[in-house]
Structure 1
Amino acid sequence: MKSIRSAFPAILAILFSAAFAAAQMIPTIPGRDLMPLSDVRAGMKGTARTVFSGTKPEEFGVEILGIVPNGIGPRQDLIVGKLSGANADRTLVFAGMSGSPVYIDGKLVGAISYSFPYAKEAICGITPIGSMISIFEQRPAPERSVGKRASFNFSELMGSNWRTITGPFSAMTPGDAVIGSNMGPSLAPVIGQTFRPIATPLAFGGFSQATIDAFAPDLMRAGMLSVATVGGSREMDFKKPTASTLLGGDSIVVELARGDLSVSAAGTVTWRDGDKIYAFGHPYFSLGSVDLPMSESHVVTVVPNLNNSFKVAVPDSAVGTLTQDRATGIYGILGREPKVLPIEVHVRTSRGRDEMVRFETVIDDFLTPLLLNSGLMNTIQGNERSIGDTTIDVNGTISMKGLPDVKIVRRYTGPQAAAVAAASPSVPLAALLNAQLAGIDITGIRLEMTVSEGSHVAALDRISVDRTEVRPGETVDVTTTFRRQDGTPFNKIFTLTIPADAAPGKLTLTIADGAVVQQASAVQQFAPQDPKELIATLNSLRRSDKLYAVFSRESAGAIVGASEMSDLPPSMIATLNNGRSTGGVKATTTSTLQEAILDAGDFVFSGSQAIVLEVVR
């Protein structure tokens, strides 16, 4: 007993040292109390927290200059503050600082979220924490309504411009605002200046600068600052959050893509409330309800820049899911695993080498087609020359749960083949994501791209037939003359069968590429009734690189949905033309009797020629 008493001071010292060491490991952040906007006054001083390097937040000073009524939006005021401290004086307000919590007297005031472009001092806008919390406490929006079906244009589905389906990307970020002259003397340094959301650094790993520059305009409209980083990142792993995960001031990354190619946006956590995370203080893309991976990260450095200093952050493990992206910030849930889309791309280069790229992306109406397009463009440019003619074959599938695959088969040639081939798979993907049809659950994309040097284009010059008087069911020989890119001509002869149901009279034979045939078709648009109809239509689209033979004649008919009906009786035509018929029915004067793809070789064909035949009995 005596020995225990004599050892007690030593034991106590060991326990005290262990407790002190443990306390050093626990992140020290101000109290959980929130300061309402009504208590904020000009002249108040406090501190803010953000990560400048590594994972540990550092503090710097903040002085409140005043409050701008409705600075963020209706009934959403903006606090204006001035930052101080060695790091803040060096970097001023930088991209990636968004969300940095501001504390006064140990109470959370809000998030640093706005900046004044070209400011000579570290003056910022602060989103009040009350505005950040209240917008996410509102009743969540209902699931997207599928009452009004999306309508698609066939020519657009055959093309490569997926933005015609998604629409141009213009996030609903708050517009620039000017600080008026009636704001009081404390705001004198910023009177007449404009403020805008702090740019969010979007780090591209594994991407060439040329690819980043090509897609930067889309991202700049959403307040993104594109930054190239070295290499991609590993496949997304999920970590169970702990009590020290994503606390106020920690660096947070929202990942858009991960794998051999990575895209991620960095910011700062404003507040953690249980498993709820509040960050940024302004929109990410202003997408509303989302499902985006939310990860811990470590900061490599903050790069001082005359135009806009920015944070370089590397994502670590995913710890939750971002579920809301709105005017006053982003909101996520810890412990919830996000849904991602696996993409696998195989490339056979013009030198016979096989390359494979794997990455995962978020699933979003606009972002996923953009990420697929940029990933394919980067893959092609990284393995092939960027100047000169190339020919690229694209084959692949978009897989869905419980539905048939969408087949992708395309061929492009010429100096723009790489750009067009990289964009084309995003068209059916955008159609599936924007169709507003219940039951579409995309589970993966697999693509194979074969590249060869040189151009394989052939333009149709003229056609001729062995005779112009024909009978139903007979065959006719059609001689077609093409011209290569260098001007040299060549001929091909096709034997075609006259439609068995062709009525006596004039019959037009048209030889043309798929794009021309589609433009001349009476069916230009369709609104799919269900996912299977959309998939079937995508799989049966005409190909712009192929040559088609079309027999048509003048005849009263109609387009019903996406189908053409010919030789309708006069009573039906009268019903269609009486102005009381609805439901996607359209009268026509030309009917297609027969259409077929011609086996004309590996060229990419263009052009159109027609000849009139006389059908006799």
Structure 2
Amino acid sequence: MAAVFWSAQAASVLAMDPILPHDQVRPGMTGTAWTVVDSSGVRKDFQVDIVGTLDNGKGSQPMIMAKASGPVIEQTGGILQGMSGSPVYVGGRLVGAVAAGIKEMTPYTFFITPIDEMLPLWKMPDRKNQTHIHTIDLHKLAEEQAKKEAEQKKKQEERAGKGAGGKLTGDALIERAREALAEQKKKAAAEEAASPAAPSESAGKADSADAKESAAPAEKTAEPKSVLYFSGFNQAGLNFLQKQLDPQGTMKFLPMGAPVQADMNRTDYEASLAPGSAIGVAVAYGDFAVGATGTVTAVDGQKVLAFGHPFMHRGNVNYFMTDAKVVGTISGQSNGMKIANIGSIIGRISQDRATGIAGTIGTFPAVVPIRVKVRDASLARVDDYGARIAYDEDFLAQLSGGIAYAAMSKTSDNLSGSTAKVSFTIRTNAVKGGKVERNNMFYNAADVGQIAMAELMQAMTIISQNSDMESDIIDVQVQIDVDDTRRTASLISAVPDRKTARPGEVVNFTTTIKPWRKAKETMIIPYTVPENQPDGPLVLDIRGGGLVPATPIMVLQQSGLDVKSEDDAKLTAADRLKKLQESGRNNEIIIAPGPVQKQLSAHEQRRLAQEQARRKAASRKVTLLGAGEKKKTGESKFATNYIIDNVIHATLQIERK
């Protein structure tokens, strides 16, 4: 009965505690900090003695130096990662957030980020979370549904509130019990709010394991590192994602912090937090999660401040806010940590700044759902994975590719010497048709997953970096088929059925390939000579679809630089996506003119233009069978079951008469 009652109640709302600005803080002041250190979820206090204030000059962030003591600190062995954001009070007034210790020195001395430096986060511009897709406010929908149910229930109770003889019925007794519990809750909240020394004890649910290893301003502090928790990723998946998100190695990646099964994919619309509670922030959530945990510093209604230092220092952001469940603490001189698991989604983080993170409970980020289905033929295993990625353009491509790779790696266990077929569909308004679809085949002796994710990440990058508009992505579906055999083949020969041809004519090439450790195979591939092809020799490349002549621009792109050719720079995002979808696949044999062909003279160009006009007029005669439809010439594609790994050449003599 009590469980039913509490789940039906709206979360209590806290008002902002009074503050003590850092310019009023003096050495020798004694205060109290609050944090959660174990699985009980109870916030515990420890003593804080102010040592002094630090100011590194104009434009620098002031900090307050302090020492921690008391039973809680003795238990944990000092200030740990994950305690960041813990509120510090002096005389019942909020001074700031525990932010950092001094690496390789005593873990009992730490720095406080002043609360007056954190409060401006609530007023920072928020231009993220914009979407043109029609959405439903689930929170509002739930409230309206609960209101209707309450009204219907009230009418039913009015009609049958009392039974025979004026005695209360069972339903009425339950309602009386609920009312009594409500009065007890209100009374307890009022008593706690009357105590100025401690932050209000509303239903604090969230904790976070520090996003920064150290944020102290003094020169003696270590270079700070963001600490990211990753759940669902095996070591190979973690290594792959680290290369994508942090190629310079500036962050710590820890394989822990998974949402517990009961909280997985759950959104808590009635959540509340209190100063000192655990809190989580995530950029991906579900079977694969990426985020961090820490501590709430201040609450004002639905607005929250936490961490006392950056998560990833990205400014205006669009991340999940979650509650968190503390597991315990691990002491250490320079790397002690409070371990916590990311919990249910409860809101949105909108600011990730030098002084901390800020967000709102009950509002939620725009998301990109991703589903990955992996089939491994050799292990006879099929697995489905799902996650939600917060729509932040800085991470969409990397996280999409990282999640798909991790799913592939976990299902197949070993990706060396394997062949993979990858198909994906991205539903987006970046293209007129509403879908970006692509499938391809990959092989790699070391790790096929390292190259198999490239096109998915390329497509997501084009969409998220659309220079014309902010494109919406409805969802991403990925299908991966893995075979632990090598499915490659080399072209042996391509013999045309004639040596001389006219523009527009079809020439059939008898093409022979030699698959890896298999017998030769032969196929007939038709090729249509371009209608604008001049007289003379036509040199053709017969190649695998993934083999294109390398250019200096491509070499730079493969090294990780974001550069475009002059032609690509003129393309819209939709054009670039179309180009990707129509580009050759690795398992195709493509017959196309080579890169160097004879240049036309001015006379030949005029004659060719007249010929093209004549042919165009003739092509307007359309039969009922569609025989007059225009066909694309100049390139033929033929799909095979192998990745074609080489190029051969053939020559036709073109005669226009």
Q: Distance in 2 between matches of 1:199 and 1:455?
A: 40
Q: Say whether residues 1:406 and 2:433 are aligned partners.
A: no
Q: 1:96, CA displacement in angstroms?
A: 1.4
Matched, 1:455 2:455: no
Q: Which letter does structure 2 place at the counterpart of 1:121?
A: P
- State the partner residue of 1:347: 374
**Does the alignment pair 1:33 with 2:10?**
no
2:364 is aligned with 1:337 = yes
- 3-state SS of paired residue (2:73): helix
Tell me the residue number matched to 2:288.
261
Partner Cα distance (1:398, 1:438) in 2: 17
Residue identity in the other structure for 1:205: S
1:547 match: 589
Paired-residue identity, %: 26
Residue 109, structure 1, aligned to residue 109, structure 2: no
Residue 266 to residue 231, structure 1, CA distance change in 2 (3 Å): closer
Contact 2:538 2:651 in 1 (8 A): yes
Q: Distance in 2 between matches of 1:329 and 1:301?
A: 23
Give the Å deviation of 1:283: 1.3
Question: Which residue identity lines up with residue 133 of structure 1 in the other structure?
Answer: L
Counterpart of 1:236 in structure 2 is 265
Contact 2:128-2:316 within 8 A present in 1 as well: no
Q: Does structure 2 retain, via aligned residues, the 8 Å contact 1:235–1:359?
A: no
Written as runs of structure 1 = structure 2, the 5 A alignment for 1:230-309 is 233=261, 234-241=263-270, 245-305=272-332, 308-309=335-336
Alignment deviations for residues 53-103 of structure 1 (CA, whole Å, 9 cap, x no partner): 1322111122223322138x8242122222223343434332212211111
CA contact (8 A) 1:30 1:103 kept: no
CA contact (8 A) 2:536 2:653 kept: yes
Q: Which residue is 1:45 aligned to?
A: 30
TM superposition shift of 1:175: 9.7
Q: Offset at 1:307? A: 5.3
Counterpart residue number, 2:230: 204
Per the normalisation by structure 2, the TM-score is 0.70
- CA root-mean-square deviation: 3.7
Provide Cα deviations, 1:370-424, integer angstroms capped at 9, x if missing partner. Answer: 3222322222222214154211111121112585211021111233213322454
1:94-243 equivalent positions in 2, closer than 5 A: 94-140=80-126, 179=218, 193-197=220-224, 199-200=226-227, 202-216=228-242, 218=245, 221=249, 223-229=251-257, 233=261, 234-241=263-270
Give how far 1:602 is off: 0.6
Aligned partners of 2:462 and 2:573 also within 8 Å: no
How far the C-alpha of 1:495 sits from its partner, in A, is 3.9
Q: After the TM superposition, which of the residue ranges 495-504 and 481-490 deviates more from structure 2?
A: 481-490
SS at match of 1:381: helix
Structure 1 residues 398 and 603: alpha-carbon distance in aligned structure 2, compared to 1, 3 A threshold: same
TM-score of the two chains, using structure 1 as the length reference: 0.74
Deviation at 1:195, TM superposition (A): 4.2
Deviation per residue, 1:561-586 (Å, 9 max, x gap): xxxxx96999xxxxxxxxxxxxxxxx
Match of 1:614 in 2: 653
Task: Please give the alpha-carbon distance, in whole angstroms, between the structure 2 residues aligned to 1:550 and 1:311.
Answer: 61
Distance 2:552 2:539 in 1: 14
Letter in 1 for 2:32: T
Give, as a single letter, the amino acid of the residue that structure 1 aligns with 2:320: P
Mean Cα displacement is larger for which, 296-305 or 484-493? 484-493
Q: Is the 8 Å Cα contact of residues 288 and 325 (structure 1) preserved in structure 2?
A: yes
Paired residues for 1:469-484 under 5 Å: 469-480=500-511, 482-484=513-515
Match of 1:327 in 2: 354
Write the distance in 1 (CA, Å) between the matches of 2:77 and 2:27: 24
Code of the aligned partner of 1:259: G
2-structure distance, mates of 1:241, 1:391 = 48
Name 2:70's counterpart in structure 1. Answer: 85
Larger displacement relative to structure 2 (359-368 or 474-483): 474-483
Contact 1:206 1:232 in 2 (8 A): no
Which residue identity is paired with 1:384?
A: S
- For 1:556 and 1:86, the matched residues in 2 are separated by 88
Distance 2:411 2:308 in 1: 41
**Partners of 2:222 and 2:570 in 1: how far apart?**
45
Structure 1 residue 340: deviation in Å?
1.9
Secondary structure in 2 aligned to 1:406? strand
Separation in structure 2 between the aligned mates of residue 468 and residue 447 of structure 1, nearest angstrom: 44
In 2, distance between residues paired with 1:45 and 1:303? Answer: 26
How many residues are aligned here?
A: 519
Write the letter of the residue equivalent to 1:605. I
Structure 2 residue runs of 5 or longer lacking an equivalent are: 1-10, 131-210, 554-563, 609-631
Name the structure with the higher strand share.
1
Structure 1 unaligned runs (5+)?
Answer: 1-25, 145-171, 181-192, 558-565, 571-591
